[in-house]
Structure formats: structure tokens, C-alpha cells
Amino acid sequence: MLATEPTLTFLGGIGEVTGSCYLVEMPGLRFLVDCGMFQGGREAADKNRQPFPFDPAALDFVLLTHAHIDHSGLLPRLAAEGFSGVIHSTAPTADLAAVMLRDSAFIQEKEAEWSRKSSRASSSQHGSKHPLRRHDDLAVDPLYRMADAERAIALFSGTGYEAPFEPRPGVHVVFRDAGHILGSASVEVTLVLPGGTHRIVFSGDLGQPGHPIVRDAVPVPEADTLLVESTYGDRMHRPMDETLDELVEALTSALVERKGNVVIPAFAVGRTQDLLMLLIRLTREGRLPPMEVYVDSPLATSATQITLKHHAELDDEAAHLGRWLASAKGYPRIHFSESVEDSMFINTIRDGAVIISASGMCDAGRIKHHLKYNLPRPECTVIITGFQAQGTLGRRIVDGARLVRLFGEEVPVRARVFTIGGLSAHADQGALLGWLGGFRQPPGHTWVVHGEASAAAAFVQVVDDRLGWPVAVAEPGQAIVLALKPPVP
């Protein structure tokens, strides 16, 4: 049954940084903002398979803040279960989501295939007469398939920043640049009903000012209800100049002094392009030695091409370096690996390689192979440049695990591990407060989302202390009524 007055329900990205999803309902209409995949261990996998707490076929449309899988990754499942409305996003997000959702479906199918083979092998070893019992089917069936991804991709409609549109009568939407990755947006939604209006602002993932490639986040002037992310709501990033000094030290010591390889787990969309731009800049400035850089992710290759295509959305320096990347023949030499054979070749290199590969939290994709070959070698270095969620392989490495499990084997961690937080594409506490300072007056209520419990609670406290706004941490499954403001006479 549709709500008799506007409501907002917090379905995902609550108390954690993955699975973002919010449901808005009003008389005769319901829509989602984001439909993200949960990431980080078995618990996340189970969440991704839970029934949607709504009928996908009854949704009118979806608004997508950006293409990262923790915001878009369940759209194929949504489409497979009956959703056929429009998915509205910025034009770059539509392009990036197409390659990301195909990649995600490919990974789902491959990992399901691997699970089936492992289940059969295990059952055979134990003499089971039922190698695939009914309760095992869920574990080895893909979450969704390539056909589901294609079905979702066909529903996208891209638009520009600061270009108001009306996905349905009574809903007015504006995308504003969030400064996180190419195409990322804060979403301003104004609900217009006979009894009045209500303006909701979803911050999406906000970027750190001065971040490579993208422009800084654009402030939003007003909101009746605000949802703001808090990934780093409890801390400040290291200044960029100090971060670059640390990156130079990590790379130089690994390549020149220790004479090993460098493995950098990086999100294929956003972080990989940031790193390429920084490596080009630092090499041209003479701060890094000549190096061979291997980008081992077909998704990252496609995302880089899309980034260069949308040059009008880049900051000035990125546009300049992008032209250099397209034409350069000197160092750093950048190799984009496409085939499995290309990827396997990289693992024969014993020293001098900088390997950038997905996934950023080390839980899937080709990065796991590179870690298997390089983690046991003390002359090698692993550089962690992004947030690592609880339960992920990347988090275990950051937390100092001596052994990690890869492809069913215990792998010792002997490589040197650097954590360089200043490269994060997420705003730190100061940047989040700076973005909030763009509101002309305090929102009627602010809900803190998209942060682990400690970070969200800390950010609530700092907003209360410094701004004095009505603010609280959202709870999973919580539904709030969106009170209408009467029309101005």
C-alpha cells in the first residue's frame, strides 16, 4: 500500500558504508535513491540475497548518485525482479554504470561457477551422493546474470548537473556535483503535493576538496530533510602535499631500494584514474623514478576511456594530464591489461612493476591473484589508498593480519604495507562540515548515513557541537514522515 503522506525509509548504507538505498513514498508514487550492493564478507553476501522490502515492479523510477557498486550494484537484481522504470543519473554516471554493472555480473557468474566446482570437488572427496543439495544452490547461483545487467543498463537516462527535471509530476530533481568521482552527484528532490512541498537532499558520496580529476563539491542552498554521508566523519585526512610525499617514499623505497613490485588495490572507477594522474604528475616533476605501470582491470581501462571522453567534467589539471596520457611515449609507461594472459604475465615480473588492480577492497577480481604472488615476498610493497570496509580482505591486511586466505590457501603477509589515507575520494570531517556550511539555513532535520557506527556517531556529535543543527544517526529500516511546508501565499 502506498503511503498517504510522504515518507522516507532508510534501507541500506546505514551503520555501514555499503548497500546505500533509500525509499521515498508519496500518494500514487514511490521511488528509490540508489540501490547498492553490500560488500564485506558472508554477512554482506547474505544481505544482497534478502528479498527487497518493497515490490520492485511497483517502483516508478530510481535516482542514482554515482556509479560505484555500493550504490548501483543491485540495480540488475531490481530489474530482474520486475522494475522497468527509468534510472536517472548524470550522463557520465550512466556511461560508467554500464561498464561497472557488466563487470559485476561477470564476476557474479564466474564466482558462482567457481563455487559450483568447489562444491562438487568437496562433495566428491567426502563421498556425497548429493553434491549440490537444495540449500547449497543459493550459495552457488549468481546473484544476477549478464542479461539482468543489460536489462538494467537499458533503463538509464543521463542528464547534466544543475539541469532540473521532473521524472514524474510532483517530483522535481536537480543533480549537483558531489566532487567524489566522475559524474557523482548530490541529489536535490522537491516533492510537490496539494498540501505543500518538502525538499530532501541526498549528499551522495562527497569528495575531498582539491582531489585529483574532479571539481570540488558544489554546495546545496537549502533542505527540509538532509541525508549526509559520514564515511570519514570521525577523522581528518593528511594534507595532500604530505600524502604525495608519503606516496613518493613508498614507491621509491619499493622500486629503488627494496627492488620489488608495488601492488595497489584500487577501485576501477575513480581511484585508478586518480592514481594515474598523480603518477604522471610526480614523474614529470622528477619526484619518481622511471616506472612500468600495469593497470590490470578491463573495467579500469573502460573507466579511463570514459573519463577522457567526459573531459568537460574534469578539473583543468586533469584535462591537461589526460591529453598527455593519450599522447605520451615516455615514463611512466602505462600498460592496460585486457586479457587473462596479460594478467598472468604480470605475475611473472619479479621487480619494478607498479600493479594497479581492482577490486579496491581486495574481495574480488584480479587483485587477489597479484596479492597471492606478492604478499609473501618481503621485498614487495602493498599500498592501500582507499577505505576498507569491515569484513573485507583489504581490511584484514590493513589491520595487520600475518596470514590471509586466497583461493583456498593460507598466504603469509611478508610484504611491506602502506596505508595512505590522504588519497581518499571521500570528504574528511572538515570537508563534510565545509559542505554543510553551504546551506543558507539549517535543514529541518539532518540524518547521518553511510558510515560505520563510530564514524557516524562522531559526526553527529561534531555537527551538534559546531552547528547546533537537529541531527541524528539514521537506523536501518527506520521510516520517517516528511512534513509538508504549506504553499507560500
Q: What is the pLDDT of residues 276-294, one digit of tens each?
A: 989 988 988 999 998 999 9
Q: Is residue 129 part of a domain?
A: yes
Q: Is residue 488 part of a domain?
A: no
Element (H, E) at 271: helix 271-284
What is the torsional sign of CA 62, 64, 70, 75? positive
In terms of domains, do 451 and 403 share one? no
Between 269 and 121, residue with greater pLDDT: 269
Tell me the average pLDDT of the chain.
90
User: Which of 375, 396, 423 marks a domain boundary?
Assistant: 423
In terms of domains, do 380 and 453 share one? no
Q: What is the pLDDT of residues 356-374, one digit of tens each?
A: 998 888 888 899 999 999 9
DSSP secondary structure of 399-459? TT-SEEEETTEEEE--SEEEE-GGG-SS-BHHHHHHHHTT-SS--SEEEEESS-HHHHHHH
Q: What is the pLDDT of residues 327-345, one digit of tens each?
A: 666 678 899 998 899 999 9
Between 358 and 35, residue with greater pLDDT: 35
User: Which of 378, 400, 423 marks a domain boundary?
Assistant: 423
pLDDT at 327: 65
- Read off the C-alpha cell for 110: 564466474
In terms of domains, do 253 and 230 share one? no
Mean pLDDT confidence for 157-164? 97
Q: How many domains does the chain have?
A: 2
Band of the pLDDT at 315, cuts 50, 70, 90? confident
Q: Which residue range forms the structural domain that includes residue 133?
A: 7-234+426-481
CATH number of the CATH domain containing 412: 3.40.50.10890
Q: What is the pLDDT of residues 192-251, one digit of tens each?
A: 999 999 999 999 999 999 888 889 999 999 999 999 999 999 999 989 899 999 999 999
pLDDT at 201: 98
What's the pTM? 0.87
User: Which of 423, 452, 471 marks a domain boundary?
Assistant: 423
Reply yes or no on whether the pLDDT at 121 is more than 70: no
The fraction of the chain above a pLDDT of 70, given in percent, is 92
pLDDT at 132: 39
Mean pLDDT confidence for 32-45? 90
In terms of domains, do 387 and 298 share one? yes
Band of the pLDDT at 120, cuts 50, 70, 90? low
Q: What is the pLDDT of residues 85-95, one digit of tens each?
A: 999 999 999 99
In terms of domains, do 160 and 25 share one? yes
Q: How far is CA 221 from CA 377, 457, 471, in A?
A: 52, 25, 18
- Side-by-side strand order, sheet with 262-265: 333-337, 292-296, 353-357, 262-265, 381-384, 416-419
In terms of domains, do 212 and 255 share one? no
Q: What amino acid occupies position 318?
A: A
- Read off the C-alpha cell for 374: 606478492
Band of the pLDDT at 307, cuts 50, 70, 90? confident
Mean pLDDT confidence for 303-314? 85
In terms of domains, do 267 and 213 share one? no
pLDDT at 253: 93
The fraction of the chain above a pLDDT of 90, given in percent, is 71
Q: What is the pLDDT of residues 400-452, one digit of tens each?
A: 999 999 988 999 999 999 998 788 889 999 999 999 999 999 999 999 999 99
Q: Is residue 487 part of a domain?
A: no
Reply yes or no on whether the pLDDT at 134 is more than 70: no
pLDDT at 129: 46
In terms of domains, do 123 and 218 share one? yes
In terms of domains, do 416 and 431 share one? no
- Read off the C-alpha cell for 65: 548518485
In terms of domains, do 278 and 249 share one? yes
pLDDT at 329: 61
In terms of domains, do 434 and 400 share one? no
pLDDT at 321: 66
- Side-by-side strand order, sheet with 479-481: 156-159, 86-90, 61-63, 29-35, 21-26, 7-12, 479-481
DSSP secondary structure of 321-372? HHHHHHH--SSSEEEEE-SHHHHHHHTT--SSEEEEES-TTSSSSTHHHHHH
Band of the pLDDT at 131, cuts 50, 70, 90? very low
Reply yes or no on whether the pLDDT at 127 is more than 80: no
pLDDT at 47: 94
Q: Is residue 1 part of a domain?
A: no
Between 84 and 141, residue with greater pLDDT: 84
In terms of domains, do 175 and 273 share one? no
pLDDT at 113: 83
CA–CA separation, 232 vs 423, rounded Å?
Answer: 12
CA–CA separation, 181 vs 423, rounded Å?
Answer: 12
Mean pLDDT confidence for 14-36? 96
pLDDT at 437: 97
CATH number of the CATH domain containing 105: 3.60.15.10
Q: What is the pLDDT of residues 447-477, one digit of tens each?
A: 999 999 999 999 999 999 999 999 999 999 9
Q: Is residue 486 part of a domain?
A: no
